[in-house]
Amino acid sequence: MSDQDLRRPAETIYKAELDALAKSDDALRPEGWHLSPQAAVTYLLGGKTKDGTEISPKYIGNRRLVETAVATLATDRALLLLGVPGTAKSWVSEHLAMKTRSAMAGTMPNCWPRGRRNRRWLPRR
């Protein structure tokens, strides 16, 4: 860890948990994902893997909200987390980004539509 790092990335801090989840995860994974949506929810909310490895909760809150967020990303839709300051939006998006195809998931570049048919949604010059 360099002097410029304020905090190690989540994928480094929770590497053992992520490896245990990936090893025991036999559910279908969306293209490019490291974990299935079910394992992603377990990673965020905590639980146990099939081999008994304890997964610590990263978010304490509404399970349905997390399931909806993961399902939204699994269907290749954009996800915008809104709320008052201090409600763990950035924290959750950092952890969700590890499971998606891009490290930028949930941030502005991935929210823009892609392809010619979607140009009407892009800002006009």
| Low-confidence spans in the chain with pLDDT less than 50 | 101-122, 124-125
Instruction: Report the SS3 class of residue 29.
Output: coil
In-domain check, residue 117 = no
In-domain check, residue 119 = no
In-domain check, residue 67 = yes
Model pLDDT, residue 11: 82
44-28-21-51 Cα dihedral, nearest 10 degrees = 130
The number of distinct structural domains making up the chain is 1
In-domain check, residue 3 = no
Question: Which residues in the chain belong to E strands, given as ranges?
Answer: 47-48, 54-55
- Give the integer Cα–Cα distance in Å for 97 and 95: 5
Q: What residues make up the domain containing 29?
A: 10-104
In-domain check, residue 32 = yes
In-domain check, residue 4 = no
Model pLDDT, residue 106: 39
Model pLDDT, residue 111: 41
In-domain check, residue 115 = no
In-domain check, residue 73 = yes
Instruction: Report the SS3 class of residue 48.
Output: strand
